[in-house]
Amino acid sequence: MNPFSSGTRLRDMIRAIRACKTAAEERAVVRKECAAIRAAINENDQDYRHRNLAKLMFIHMLGYPTHFGQMECLKLIASTGFPEKRIGYLGLMLLLDERQEVLMLVTNSLKQDLNHSNQYIVGLALCALGNISSAEMARDLAPDVERLLQFRDPNIRKKAALCSIRIIKKVPDLAENFMNPASSLLKEKHHGVLITGVQLCTDLCKVSSEALEYFRENCIEGLVKTLRDIANSPYSPEYDIAGITDPFLHIRLLKLLRILGQGDAGASDCMTDILAQVASRTESNKNAGNAILYECVETIMSIEDNGGLRVLAINILGRFLSNRDNNIRYVGLNMLMKAIMVDAKAVQRHRATILECVKDSDASIQKRALELVYLLVNESNVKPLTKELIEYLEVSDQEFKGDITAKICSLVEKFSPAKIWYIDQMLKVLSEAGNFVKDEVWHALIIVISNASDLHGYTVRALYRVFQASTEQESLVRVAVWCVGEYGDMLVNNVGMLDIEEPITVTESDAVDAMEVAIKCQRLGLTTKAMALIALFKLSSRFPSCSERIKDIIVQNKRSLVLELQQRSIEFSCILQKHQNIRSALVERMPILDEKTFSGKKAGSLPTAVSTSSIIPCNLPNGIGKPAAAPIGDLLDLSSDDAPPAPVSSGGDFLQDLLGVDLSPASAPSGTSQSPKTGTDVLLDLLSIGTSPSVQSSSSAIDILSSSHDNKAPVSNLNGLASHSSLSANATSPASSAGMMDLLDGTGAITQKHEENGPAYPSLVAYESSTLRMTFNFSRQPGNPQTTFIQATFTNLSPNVYNDFLFQAAVPKFLQLHLDPASSNTLPASGNGSITQCLKVTNTQHGKKLNRLEACWGSITLSSNHFGNFEYFGQGYIWHV
């Protein structure tokens, strides 16, 4: 190609792109350039390769795809000239990351360049290797890098040192090879080499305890001397920052000393003098000095105890906290977090300042300070600190309220001196920021209230007052509604009046009014309304005088557009009208909720994980009052009371299923499965409109708690139970399939029908691995050619029993897949038995498309931490784990 007729220059392209007024224009320019570059790549144009790559890098930075240029980088790197290599390596670092396979192709070029005679080319290769090396490359090229640590030019030595850091991070086994050369770097005078050498030693200590011991024995004195020299060195313009010689070197030396001194009294002793000198003599009016002080304080806090030094460090922290610069205050707070482990008293002294920082306008500082306050709280100061925080809650920013309420709630829960105080504080938090708390917070509050039997009256009155004042905060409304439902009689009769309370007159119809407000309020969510409906239902037996009105309100909701409300109101009004004899038993007060079950569950799950909020609400109530969903099932089957009793053998599982309890091994023992027998009895009783009121009574309110999550499943399953017809592919969760399959077994399984038809095709081992074998047997019913039955047999080849077996599958659109439940959810170990599951595949376009399973994909769950996906296309299965 003629070198004089080429595309635009890099500068012109950038100018053209910058001149674009709209995104569409820019796209057009980029498209044109990319087309030209692609064309040049196809023609294997060499003269403008580097310019094209430079253009691509710019285009890449704008966010456009540039993968087609990756090979160009490799070509440029492989060429001989320095300019080509320079831009090639830059492109390599910019356009590729370590996960791309293309990168492996460059290993050879890198090896050659690491041994190049031109030291700048060696430098380029080291830089690229240090920035994007993968573990494989690190392993291949480590010997070359190791050799370069002794290269004559210091600029190469320092690059090699940093490159070694990447290598030992990727492949920690290689650490011991680097120990000796690294320690010799510490003796250098060149600052670049020293800085990188110290850094390399620090990282070696992190990956290898052997290296840590080695440096502890051999290098501490040298490092202390280097630090002393640099701290005392006269003005040197090349390294001076704000009157300090090379703060970067200071900081790195302090960091390495910290690692060496940690847990070793002798080593710590060696460095106390120099640490004292740095801490007391470093100028603190500039950022560089403060950076050193910051590092120094951290080192003092981490090494073995030395009283005098710690005092010095805490004093520096005090200075930081009172600094006007936000940056310094931020790091001050940050360090206090570490200091609190060492010297809590000293940190307590700064409590007032820290509390001020919570109210700072800067979100980063607020966050730090809040964390710190959280750590500062103990039994003795919880009351004043909580008061401060709650006062602050009123004025804090919206986005900060979530954080702060979470912290207050957890403090109040942890250090509460008395239940009444706990309830008071929680009411304050909820009425201030109830919309920001997680569900578990108000669940916990309800449990505490339920346990504080002498405070029921007090609490319900307090809640009623706050509720009358505002219905803004939804979780407050929920707690209020729940308490009114449970303890409405105490509200009206002023039962259990405490001395501190002001008397309040609430009539029965006032309480009903309040519930009506909650149901009708537009702003409140479904869960709240459903809770209010239940509360009303409960009040109907507590306030006989209002029962007609309550019935009216409930009946109004029969026409609600929300299925949940409609269903509940139909059920409730049915009970009110036809089943007066059991009503009072049904709506009895909840038994005291078990605090331990709840806190045990909470502790078992990660405190911050999002998942907790979705799991706990359903677990919590279920763990306590088992037959939560039972009344619903009961109601559904009211017309056919003689429905066949559910199979007894699996009552426990089935109940769990109804309740939507997840079957993970952690929660199972504390849940229902412990007492499957009683669970079954209850279920049976309920199904035949039983006579165990004590259990029944607890149910409805619990049900509300889980309503937002799982109440669909139990209903549908019960429907299935009643009709025996729609036992279709409802294998959406391990729990539901488990329950259903037991039912099937008990009542004559459909599975057996297919077996009679005999295999029309040879059976197929669809998948086999070290843990599992899956076999497919095919059959067809005569006269129904479009439907194929597949019986899948799963055999466990591993020595472990899998309890949560679940098979899920999907097929292309033109096929319809019906999954029957599996024969069991427990897969015995070592091939001692197997699970079978029937799949029914219907070809909706029979005749048009081949009637065979062309593709199928899905997942197999063996236990909560062992599952895999499979895909099947044509002949073979591909298994991913």
Partner 1 sequence: MIHFVLLISRQGKVRLTKWYSTYSKKERSKVLRELSGVILTRGPRLCNFVEWRGLKVVYKRYASLYFCMCIDPDGNELEILEIIHHYVEVLDRYFGSVCELDLIYNFHKAYYILDEILISGELQESSKRTVVRSVAAQDSLVEAAKEQTGSTISNIIAHAAK
At closest approach, how far in Å is the CB of 265 from partner 1? 23
Contact 321, 333 (CB under 8 A): yes
At closest approach, how far in Å is the CB of 84 from partner 1? 9
At closest approach, how far in Å is the CB of 192 from partner 1? 4
* Cα gap 423→429, rounded to integer Å: 10
Q: Toward partner 1, which CB reaches closer, 82 or 814? A: 82
Q: Toward partner 1, which CB reaches closer, 98 or 304? A: 98
Q: Toward partner 1, which CB reaches closer, 101 or 238? A: 238
Assign residue 377 a region (left: φ > 0; alpha: ψ between -120 and 50; beta: otherwise): beta
Q: Toward partner 1, which CB reaches closer, 230 or 806? A: 230
* Cα gap 298→261, rounded to integer Å: 12
Q: Cα dihedral angle (135, 140, 146, 151), rounded to 10 degrees?
A: -120
* Cα gap 317→323, rounded to integer Å: 10
Please name which of 605, 601, 624, 622 lies closest in space to residue 713, comparing C-alpha atoms.
622
Contact 490, 539 (CB under 8 A): no
Three-state DSSP string of 542-604: HCHHHHHHHHHHHHHHHHCCCHHHHHHHHHHHHHHHHCHHHHHHHCCCCCCCCHHHHHHHHHH
At closest approach, how far in Å is the CB of 64 from partner 1? 11
* Cα gap 587→585, rounded to integer Å: 6
Please name which of 703, 708, 744, 748 lies closest in space to residue 727, comparing C-alpha atoms.
744
Q: Toward partner 1, which CB reaches closer, 342 or 555? A: 342
Radius of gyration of the chain, Cα coordinates, nearest whole angstrom: 36
Contact 456, 501 (CB under 8 A): no
Q: Toward partner 1, which CB reaches closer, 200 or 267? A: 200
Q: Toward partner 1, which CB reaches closer, 330 or 392? A: 330
At closest approach, how far in Å is the CB of 83 from partner 1? 4
DSSP-derived letter for residue 501 is: S
At closest approach, how far in Å is the CB of 390 from partner 1? 24
* Cα gap 358→367, rounded to integer Å: 7
- The alpha carbon of residue 777 and the mean position of all alpha carbons in its chain are separated, in whole angstroms, by 41
- DSSP track, 129-194: HHHH--HHHHHHHHHHHHHHTT-SSHHHHHHHHHHHHHHHHH-GGGHHHHHHHHHHHTT---HHHH
- 3-state DSSP helix/strand/coil % of the chain, to nearest 5: 65, 10, 25
Q: Toward partner 1, which CB reaches closer, 26 or 501? A: 26
At closest approach, how far in Å is the CB of 294 from partner 1? 5
Q: Toward partner 1, which CB reaches closer, 94 or 531? A: 94
Q: Toward partner 1, which CB reaches closer, 195 or 355? A: 195
Query: Which amino acid type is present at position 709?
Result: H
DSSP-derived letter for residue 343 is: -
Q: Toward partner 1, which CB reaches closer, 395 or 500? A: 395
Binding site for partner 1 (CB under 8 A): 3, 11, 14, 18, 54, 57-58, 61-63, 81-83, 86-87, 90, 93-94, 97-99, 120, 123, 126-127, 130-131, 155, 158-159, 162-163, 165-166, 169, 191-192, 195-196, 199, 238-239, 241, 246-249, 251-252, 287-288, 290-291, 294-295, 326-331, 334, 361-365, 367
Q: Toward partner 1, which CB reaches closer, 402 or 496? A: 402
At closest approach, how far in Å is the CB of 736 from partner 1? 34
Please name which of 374, 380, 287, 289 lies closest in space to residue 337, comparing C-alpha atoms.
374
Please measure the distance between the N-terminal and C-terminal CA atoms of the chain and give it in whole angstroms: 51
At closest approach, how far in Å is the CB of 197 from partner 1? 11
At closest approach, how far in Å is the CB of 729 from partner 1? 33
Axis crossing angle, helix 508-520 with helix 474-493, rounded to the nearest 10:
170
Contact 423, 445 (CB under 8 A): yes
At closest approach, how far in Å is the CB of 293 from partner 1? 9
At closest approach, how far in Å is the CB of 247 from partner 1? 6
Question: How far, in Å, are 195, 456, 481, 875 from residue 765 at the CA level?
Answer: 61, 63, 58, 11
At closest approach, how far in Å is the CB of 298 from partner 1? 8
Q: Toward partner 1, which CB reaches closer, 334 or 573? A: 334
Helix (H/G/I), strand (E/B), else coil: 386 = helix
Q: Toward partner 1, which CB reaches closer, 96 or 441? A: 96
At closest approach, how far in Å is the CB of 14 from partner 1? 6
